[in-house]
Structure 1
Amino acid sequence: MNDKYLSPYDASASESTIYDMWEQSGYFNPDAMIRDGLTKEDAAPFSIVLPPPNVTGQLHLGHAFEDATQDAIIRYRRMKGFRTLWVPGTDHAAIATQAKFEKEHYKKEKKSRHDYDRNDFFDMTLDFGRAHQSTILGQLKKMGASLDWSRLAFTLDEARQHAVYTAFKKMYDAELIYQKDRIVNWDVKGQTTVSDDEVLREEREATMYTFKYSDDFPFPIASTRPETKLGDTAVAVHPDDTRYQQYIGNEYSFTFAGADVTVKIIADEHVDSEFGVGALGVTPAHSMIDSEIAERHDLPSVQVINEYGKMIIGNDDIKNTKAAVARETVAQWLRDNNLMVSEEKIIQNVGIAERTGGVIEPLPKLQWWINVNKSFDYPHDSLTGIEKGQSVTLKELMLHVVENEEVSIVPERFEKTYRHWITNLRDWNISRQIIFGHQIPVWYKDGEDMKVSETSPGYGWVQDTDTLDTWFSSGLWSFSTLGWPNTEAEDFKTYHPTNLLNPGYEILPLWVSRMILMSTFLVGDIPFKEVHIHGMLRDKQGRKFSKSLNNGIDPLEVIEQYGTDALRMALTIGVTPGQDMSFDLQKVKAYRKFANKLWNITRFVLTETDKQHEVYEGSFSKRDVEILNHFSERTKELTKEMDENKLYLVAEKLYHYTWHTFADEILEESKAIFENGNDSEILSRKKLLRHILKNICIMLHPFMPFITEEIWQDLKNNNDRDILMTVSWPQL
């Protein structure tokens, strides 16, 4: 027996060495497993693409949570004989990375993006992201992630750029991508548009002002933003509201806070006559809802706020002031002119940009969009239930594959969330006014000609300065990482669609839906077969981890103190799909004790047995047959639950069996047998102990890969595979 077992288990002494051994073996790559006869050439494929972490910093506990789950699933499928691939990669996270780099760079150099040439700023931001990527990859290795590093991808590398531009061209040619002036979510702080699902809602105190536009206007309206009323072009009322029926169709012109305003009274069934005074001042340039009303009634649009959040029309004391300041100025003008009817304090939801924290200002902008409601002839014949040439919309495709059970969402309750989101989905604004990202592949010449091309069409052509929403490139992730648009690529043919995606529930509309959109249209197939949703990691008081609460925990610090295996077990046991998990270091400490218990069990078995006892040819004793049968039944049960990805159950049952059945009962019983039993009982029991300990290590390996591999190196015999990671799962 190795003397190391005389001391408590020290994870820090061996984890790096073990990972190096795995990596040098090349067996994270399924091709190497097949080459060396460890996986059959005709084995069924099993693939997962890693949800790519953003290159904005280090991984946090939430990433460790995902990594532990996916690695356990991958290691199990590899041991089950599948042709198993786990693709690694990172996301350039356009807005988030540029915002973070620019903030840090300004602190050091007092310079912003405006002080640099576009290409120079892009390269500087890319270097910043690459540096963080290196840190992230190191952290993934610390977690024991058995990712195939030879297939490392980055959403902004050349291969992914080719995929992005190919996708844009195909969607543009299908008339699903278009350019149009529409109301967007404008991030005043970040100076770019953001999508609906990147807007957070924050409750803030506001004032509901009820006022008349002018002395001769027939009735009051109500608004929390009187500064936008300088751009009103209509007042909408419900057609059945008797208070206003006599005014419908009338037009009124007046001067409002220095702006010449003309409004038409219109009837619209979408107006809630019970809300406020039942009359809605319509500002098409600064409200999504009002813009839709304007489209229905063919109303003009007047912009009053610019990209910097400042007023562009109004009195001298209003013009060029920030909208929030102008709000009070207009309110005072209303008071001074005896137009204010009432003022009431209320709580309202204010849109905040998720990445920058800036207030969202709805503005009209010329942008690129994906039309999710436009019908087109489906170009593929490989999607079940949709025929080639059938008229469909992107929204219908996204709903079809879930309702047709081609993509299953676990737990099932999140299917309702998905359906609700897709049913209410609006056209996707895909252009961003930033530098870092995939520059839109549209070229202009002489202000008239326009071409969509991956490269410049020639002299005099200028590329669109906007970049694509980062979700456009990450939406291609399941297949761009496997060689698409080359549909003859071996990885694409073998591993797509992937088997499983393991995202948090908060990213279901952000990412999962867009992967389904892209894959069904561009590939003609689903991107994955199962979406295995996990919840959010919270502190022991149930609060979200955040900088403001100062409750963050660095997974690397936990690993350094307690070992990776203890952390992985703590992030697995008791965690059911879709449920939030309260993280407590006491739980990690408990599983460090379990790792040490397994270490002590091994010391006992290695002390009392040797490899020759495994080849004992005598019959097992009656008691040992009973133990073996029980262990076999337990193995069968655990295998079924692993097939169902019930990791939380399997890990917990293995914990209890190892500690309370194997150690507390079987090992204690063995001591008496070794003292008082006959030769056949002793030999039978020694063979039994090695058999069970080996299989415990095999089944614990997906959850505790480091300590089980360490033990395996001392427990294996000449007929066993050299590396536990490649050993077959126990045969039933």
Structure 2
Amino acid sequence: MEPTYNPSLFEDKWYRKWLEKGYFHADEKKVLRGEKEKFSVVLPPPNVTGVLHVGHALNSTLQDVICRWKRMKGYEVCWVPGTDHAGIATQWVVERELAKEGLTRHDVGREEFLKRVWEWKEKYGSRIINQLKKLGTSCDWERERFTMDEGFSKAVRRAFVRLYKEGLIYKGKRLINWCPRCHTALSDLEVEHEEEQGNLWYIRYPIVGEDGYIVVATTRPETLLGDVAVAVNPKDERYSHLVGKRVRLPIVGREIPIIADEYVDPEFGTGAVKITPAHDFNDYEVAQRHGLPEIQIMDDWGRITVPPFKGMDRFEAREAIVTMLKDEELLEKVEPHIHSVGHCYRCKTVIEPYLTEQWFVKTKPLAEKAIEAVKTNEVKFIPKQWENTFFDWMYNIRDWCISRQIWWGHRIPAWYCLECGHVNVAEEAPEKCENCGSSNLKQDEDVLDTWFSSSLWPFGVFGWPVETDDLKAFYPTDLLVTGFDIIFFWVARMMMMGYHFTGKRPFADVYVHALVRDEKGQKMSKTKGNVIDPLEMVEKYGADTLRFTLTALAAQGRDIRLSEKIIEGYRHFANKVWNVGRFVLNATKNIKTEGSVAYAPEDMWILTKLSEAVEEYDRALESYRFNDAAKAVYQFIWNELADWYLEFTKHRIYKGTEEEKRTAAHTLLKVLRDSLKLLHPIMPFISEEIYQKLPNKDSESIVISPWPDKECCAFPEIARLVESVKELIRGIRNVKAELSIPPSTEVEVFVKTEDEKLLETVAKMAPAIKQMARVSQIHKTDKAPSGSVSFFLPGVEVYVKVGQLIDVAKEIERIKKKLEKMAKEIEKLGKKLSNENFLKRAPKEVVEKNREELKELKELHAKLSSTLEQLKNME
């Protein structure tokens, strides 16, 4: 092994080797023959436009941890990767490339434009997949899919046609999100809401037939041209006498009613709001309830279509309307107002609620089985609280707009007869109209929402609608790992489609991972300059270090606070693993491990601790407590193996008998091998690199090696005794530290206990105790020897003879001063933690840190006080 840990020397090497050997490829025949139990997962398909960000790194790492763990536990793991065609995002990228040539998509035409998109996809579409490979993701790359590959396109057409024939897809005129720049409908997820400084304009609407007016507050005065009513809350006594009367619409002059509706918030503005159903989603719902008309006042470019503002851009018209209202003395006042404004996620244009004819899916009938599945725990959300988000959306579900006015995507399989107007919906292009027989047909220009195709992902990737062996073997899948922001847009829709088309759940568990924020808890963004580039971190610290960091921080229900400093900190753990591997391999290379072994107490202790670590690790991953799995392996390797067991074995490895050397080497190699297996799901590269150098490896690769048996070696009683020996060593070291005795100075130790088994263990481990605590002699005693300082363990009194090694009077004075200083610190911290203002205003972590510090100070003060009393008795 290299003297220092350098991941760049082996990470790419091992990944290539794993791919060559086909370790990640699942054999469906083994599952169908009943030879192996399957574990299947589908990778949430990243956009072909995408590059790896820290969210992707977290998502794929957590999936990989589970998949590698399951593979080692003997499952036939099928983890299907792929990419999403990302309609609007990809079209936008290619349009931007065309713009460099001074062209638009309309200049080159649909066919040429799509050819260019496919060329772009072939050239750049695999970038994010290659970046995921750098992280070590063990996907079944031979099964990689794309949401517009031939097989998947067939699945999309089959789904559309079947839903249409079942009456669950229809075409109708409804209100949708519209981007005037991209010229297409958008899903809610494609709308980014940003807080913006705007205004509230207070407009007077004159009451018909009497003097006076009702004042309406609005953030969008330009839409008053399409007002059909003024609404107030039915419980608002200020306006109850006006309900049923009519007002004259400013500028337009049209009479409209005053209505009462629970939707109105009496606290907003004046408590009276204008209702513009063709340009506001809430107003649209109000209009539906009250049977009001919808008046459209803009075209699809966001231009006003009614005089006297016809042809004006909507924001230009806003200024003109406000000026006119002032001139007519109908503008009462203007107030600054911060509100949320929706923008197109791609081009950042302010979106417009727009009434247009689109294709929709009736979702209520599809939602029923999905809701029932979560209620009965057939599909489980982890953490469980995300069920509430799921139910909130599903119980209030609206029909889903699935058409997009772009060119890149699955074109809607509907052909209009230009003779009789009949809509022909079919999987393949029909030769003639099914109604009148005419061949004069034209296909719908629109494409399907990207989420429509990705909703078929869990079964579409396995070949549906064909009943393939893959579909039989690997569907339903077992786990989905995703972010909370697409629980409705993707997770719920996969559930609806999965149940509808296959009659089975698409997945058993949905693990919803946290959001990765910066170290201050702020959302990462390029504008803030706080983005952490995972590829940069891989280059700098290695993929294993980044993976371990993300896993260790992935506590359920808590956002991850990440910084480069934290990643650098976990690089020290990778170094520790490397150094442990080097030590064990170097220490055992000339020792023959064949033959009988006679375990020493410390061997039985480390094997028991290993068994406990395996059990805790399994328990943690079974319930998706990734951070606890990382903690279990971290503590075992660093605290038990490196800090204690390696030290326990040194005297036997270098000075022991042949049998002692053989047993120590045998145990060291077994424990190292199994530690690497525990580490492998989280840190695949370093674990493989060291595993390959072991003389006792049990497989050609750690990837397919058997998982450690947690029940093979457990000696709880011996382990308890060795834990007491560890406390004995710690106690001796602490006494030296408290009395400023150099650690290398040897001391005599006396042990008083009735626990004969402990005395026996101390005797057996005496060489290790002497070496690790620098002890000259260990005696059994019935009383306290003179000139000694004592400490206590459960059922044990330990005396350390120090009389000859220290100036008692000086030590008493030194400890007194130290205690006085500590008392002041304790008092200061105590006052701080009693201050209600501090407890309310300080961040939680700061308060916790202060409490922990106070607790430690009090414990140390008590120990030093005890030592002081003992020293006084020596004078």
TM-score normalised per structure 1: 0.91
* Unaligned 5+ runs, structure 1: 374-392
Cα 1:245/1:691, change in 2 over 3 Å: closer
> Which amino acid is 1:416 matched to?
N
Aligned to 2:573, the other structure's residue is in SS state helix
2:51 maps to: 58
Alignment-derived partner of residue 9 in structure 1? 5
Counterparts of 1:423 and 1:263 in 2: how far apart (Å)?
33
CA distance in structure 2 between the aligned counterparts of 1:34 and 1:270, rounded to whole angstroms: 58
TM-superposed CA distance for 1:273, in Å, is 4.8
1:332 corresponding residue in structure 2 = 323
Please give the secondary structure, in 2, of the residue aligned with 1:420.
helix
Map of 2:191 onto structure 1 = 199
The amino acid of 2:95's aligned partner reads: E
Q: Does 1:595 align with 2:574?
A: yes
Q: Distance in 1 between matches of 2:418 and 2:485?
A: 44
Alignment counterpart, residue 145 of structure 1, candidates 112, 126, 137:
137
CA drift at 1:435: 0.9
Alpha-carbon distance, 1:143 to partner: 0.8
Distance 2:611 2:577 in 1: 20
- Matches of 1:243 and 1:646 in 2, distance apart? 55
Q: Tell me whether 224-233 or 60-69 shows the greater mean CA deviation.
A: 224-233
Q: Which amino acid aligns with 1:14?
A: F
Pairwise CA distance, 1:272: 4.1
Identify if the C-alpha distance between structure 1 residues 262 and 641 changes in structure 2 by more than 3 Å, giving closer, same or farther.
same
Residue type of the alignment partner of 1:669:
F
Q: What displacement does 1:57 show?
A: 3.1
CA RMSD in angstroms comes to 2.3
Partner of 1:724: 702
Which residue of structure 2 lines up, in the alignment, with residue 387 of structure 1? none
| Residue in structure 2 matched with residue 181 of structure 1 by the alignment | 173
Question: Aligned partners of 1:248, 1:629: CA distance in 2, in Å?
Answer: 78
Match of 1:227, as an amino acid? E
Equivalent position of 1:668 in the other structure: 647
Q: What is the DSSP-based 3-state SS (H/G/I as helix, E as strand, rest coil) of the residue aligned with 1:502?
A: strand
Q: Out of 585, 588, 612, which is 1:633 matched to?
A: 612
Contact 2:148 2:409 in 1 (8 A): yes
The residue correspondences of 1:104-183 to structure 2 (distance < 5 A) are 104-106=97-99, 108-183=100-175
- Pairwise mapping of residues 93-112 of structure 1 onto structure 2 (< 5 A)? 93-106=86-99, 108-112=100-104
Instruction: Measure, in 2, the Cα distance between the counterparts of 1:171 and 1:221.
Output: 47
Q: Structure 1 residues 97, 237: closer, same or farther in 2, change over 3 A?
A: same
Query: How has the CA–CA distance of structure 1 residues 96 and 86 changed in structure 2, closer, same or farther, with 3 Å as cutoff?
Result: same
Distance 1:204 1:6, change over 3 A: closer
> Equivalent residue for 2:814?
none
8 Å contact kept, 1:80–1:729: yes
Match of 1:235 among 206, 230, 237: 230
Alignment check: 8 A CA contact 2:613 2:636 kept: no
Q: Which one-letter code corresponds to 2:223 in the other structure?
A: T
Aligned residue in 1 for 2:80: 87
Q: Distance in 1 between matches of 2:706 and 2:181?
A: 55
Q: Deviation digits for residues 186-211 of structure 1, max 9, x if unmatched?
A: 11222111122332322222332233
Q: Which moved more, 1:576-585 or 1:621-630?
A: 621-630
Alignment of 1:249-260 (within 5 A): 249=244, 256-257=250-251, 259=252
Q: Following superposition of structure 1 onto structure 2, how do residues 549-628 of structure 1 map, counting pairs within 5 Å?
A: 549-610=528-589, 613-628=592-607
Amino acid at match of 1:542: G
Contact 2:160 2:169 in 1 (8 A): yes
- Cα drift, residue 681 of structure 1: 1.4
What CA distance in whole angstroms lies between the structure 1 residues aligned with 2:708 and 2:405? 55
Q: Of 688, 692, 699, which residue of structure 1 is paired with 2:678?
A: 699
For the residue of structure 1 that corresponds to 2:508, the secondary structure is strand
Q: Secondary structure at the match of 1:571?
A: helix
- CA-CA distance at 1:47 after TM superposition: 0.8
For residues 640 and 244 of structure 1, the distance between their equivalents in structure 2, rounded to whole angstroms, comes to 62
8 A Cα contact 1:232 1:261, kept in partner: no
Q: Hey, what's the Cα distance between the residues in 1 that align with 2:281 and 2:116?
A: 36
Stretch deviating more after TM superposition (230-239 or 405-414): 230-239
Aligned to 2:527: 548
Amino acid at match of 2:183: Q
Give the SS at the match of 1:362. strand
More divergent stretch after superposition (506-515 vs 624-633): 624-633
Q: Structure 1 stretch 85-94 or stretch 554-563: which is displaced more?
A: 554-563
State whether residues 52 and 90 of structure 1, in contact with CA within 8 Å, keep that contact through their aligned partners in structure 2.
yes
Q: Give, as a single letter, the amino acid of the residue that structure 1 aligns with 2:66.
A: I
Contact 1:213 1:220 in 2 (8 A): yes
Q: How big is the shift at 1:337? A: 1.3
Question: Quick one: structure 1 residues 363 and 221, their matched pair in 2 at CA, closer, same or farther if it must change by over 3 Å?
Answer: farther
Matched, 1:302 2:295: yes
**3-state SS of paired residue (2:568):** helix
1:410 equivalent to 2:382? Answer yes
The residue aligned with 2:789 is none
CA contact (8 A) 2:277 2:294 kept: yes
- SS of 2:93's equivalent in the other structure is helix
Q: Who is 2:873 aligned against? A: none
Describe how 1:413-428 pairs up with structure 2 within 5 A: 413-428=385-400
Structure 2 distance, partners of 1:217, 1:354, is 47
How far apart, in 2, do the equivalents of 1:674 and 1:504 lie? Answer: 50
Question: Which one has the largest radius of gyration?
Answer: 2
**Distance (whole Å) between structure 2 residues aligned to residue 175 and residue 613 of structure 1:** 75
Quick one: distance in 1 between partners of 2:503 and 2:29?
30
Equivalent residue for 2:65, pick from 63, 72, 89: 72
Distance 1:247 1:172, change over 3 A: same
* Aligned pairs, number: 699
Between 584-593 and 507-516, the greater mean CA deviation after superposition: 584-593
Which residue number corresponds to residue 793 of structure 2?
Answer: none
Deviation, structure 1 residue 340: 2.2
Q: CA deviation at 1:252?
A: 6.0
Distance 1:655 1:366, change over 3 A: same
**Structure 1 residues 247, 664: closer, same or farther in 2, change over 3 A?**
closer
Range moving further from structure 2, 175-184 or 543-552: 543-552
Q: State the alpha-carbon separation in 1 of the partners of residues 594 and 304 from structure 2.
A: 86
For 2:124 and 2:607, the matched residues in 1 are separated by: 50
| Aligned equivalents of 1:553, 1:491: Cα separation in 2 | 38
Cα distance, 1:503 vs structure 2: 0.6
TM-score, L = length of structure 2? 0.76
Taking only the aligned residue pairs, the percentage that are identical comes to 40
Q: How far has the Cα of 1:410 moved from its partner?
A: 0.7
* Secondary structure, aligned partner of 1:369: strand
CA contact (8 A) 1:285 1:364 kept: yes
Q: Deviations over 1:276-320 (max 9, x none)?
A: 4444332221112222222233322221111111111122xx221
The answer for the alignment partner of 1:383 in structure 2 is: none
Q: CA deviation at 1:532?
A: 0.7
Matches within 5 A, 1:358-377: 358-373=349-364
Letter in 2 for 1:298: G
Contact kept? 1:221, 1:281, Cα under 8 Å: no
Q: Name the structure 2 match of 1:381.
A: none
Say whether residues 1:438 and 2:432 are aligned partners. Answer: no
CA contact under 8 A between 2:48 and 2:84: conserved in structure 1? yes
One-letter amino acid of the counterpart of residue 443, structure 1 = W
The farther-off stretch of 53-62 and 267-276 is 267-276
Per the alignment, residue 681 of structure 1 pairs with: 660
Q: Is 1:450 equivalent to 2:423 in the alignment?
A: yes
Which piece of structure 1 moves more, 304-313 or 336-345? 336-345
Aligned partner of 2:336 in structure 1 is 345
User: Alpha carbons of 1:711 and 1:40: their partners in 2 closer, same or farther (altered >3 Å)?
Assistant: farther
Instruction: Write the distance in 2 (CA, Å) between the matches of 1:638 and 1:651.
Output: 8
Amino acid at match of 1:66: N
Q: What is the CA distance between 1:568 and its match in structure 2?
A: 0.8
Q: Distance in 2 between matches of 1:217 and 1:113?
A: 55
CA shift in 2, pair 1:275/1:125, >3 Å? same
Deviations 1:503-527 (A, max 9, x none): 1112222211111121122221211
**Structure 1 letter corresponding to 2:556:** P
Q: Which amino acid aligns with 2:305?
A: I
The DSSP-based 3-state class of the residue aligned with 1:330 is: helix
The answer to whether the Cα contact below 8 Å between 1:230 and 1:314 also exists between their aligned partners in 2 is no
